[in-house]
Amino acid sequence: MEKVFVLGGGVTKIGEHWSKSLRDLFVEAALKAAKNSNIELRDMEAVYVGNMSSGELQGQEHLGSLMATWLGIPGVAAVKVEAACASGGAVFHQAYLAVASGVYDCVLVGGVEKMTDAVVHDVTAALIMADDAEYTAFTGASFVGLNALVYRYYMEKYGVKQEDIALFSVHDHKYAANNPYAQYPFQVSLEKVLSSPLIADPIRLFECAPIGDGAAALILCSERFAKESGIKPEVEVAASALATDTISLVDRDDLTTLAATVKAAKKAYKKAGVEPRDIDVMEVHDAFTILGVIHLEDLGFAEKGKGWRLVKEGEIEKDSKIPTNLSGGLKARGHPVGATGVYQVYEIYQQLTGTAPNQVGKAEVGLAQSVGGVGGTVVVNILRRVR
């Protein structure tokens, strides 16, 4: 396998981009990535586009060719990758494999989603496709409702109070306040979170990731390309692992763990030659506060039922045990579904190059975890600073 490096990236601010189309957002992020990497788009051998719902919400598929056209590089190999909310993590995984296998030496990988100019009913209908639409959506369940089941079961199984789980939202907003591309760059109190409207019992509005538009892009290259181009990469992809679980909760043995996270993490740790204690900074997929807590456990940083303690005791703060979601996470940075996983990897790249808004001192190894559905697909990407 070839070594794979991240040369640079670019993102758009996440928000309600009424005047920008799906292609506008992707091109903006891609051009920033190329500029920040000192690479010309014409050097790209392939373009990988992560997206979940363009067919449902924009009536537009065939994003590979569409984005290659609007980037001005028609003729390049280009495809869309979809894995529900893990589309961003999955598209990075596929781009990594293409370079690691030696098929390509330099590729553009990006994610994009545009959701705010669709009516809420259509967005809800698109998101439930992350589960078994014929079986689960038929019952009238929503994506928030499924996560509410997990939330309620977790509290009852481990005797945890909601206020201890809801603290994850407070944590995210604290760091989003200093993130220039965050959708909600302001702090919130625990009281504000717990007094926000109930969406699906027990989940409150301020415990949910928002609907938003955005795009993120990265340039990946092989060691051969870097040497021939006279580039000295700063960040290497140490591992990229993807795993799945049964798509619906009804088939799970335990609602309080995502088996796909456990499997993907084990694969990634082994490939990278690291253990949880070696991770200096982390971005996890907290579409709802309960998921953030569960991920801390499934990734190996806390015992089952005790992930909330890391949040409550300040262990996920910038200068503590395992700095987590210093971008603001999905809750406050934003969650443009198909782009989220790419944003996460970009944020780890920033940390390892010392350019993050909420910088961790001397970060050497970082982890990004991307989740599709309620754990039907999970991708764990580990990056390492080149020494």
Active site residues: 85, 335
Spatial separation of the C-alpha atoms in residues 175 and 196, rounded to whole Å: 20
Report DSSP state, residue 197: P
Token reading at 301:
């940083």
| Strand pairing class (365-372; 281-283) | parallel
DSSP string covering 218-263, please? EEEEEHHHHHHTT---SEEEEEEEEEE--SSGGG-S-TT--HHHHH
Of 47, 51, 43, 61, nearest to 98 (Cα)? 47
Spatial separation of the C-alpha atoms in residues 375 and 387, rounded to whole Å: 34
Alpha-helical segments (H) within 105-186: 120-127, 143-158, 162-176
Token reading at 147:
């996560």
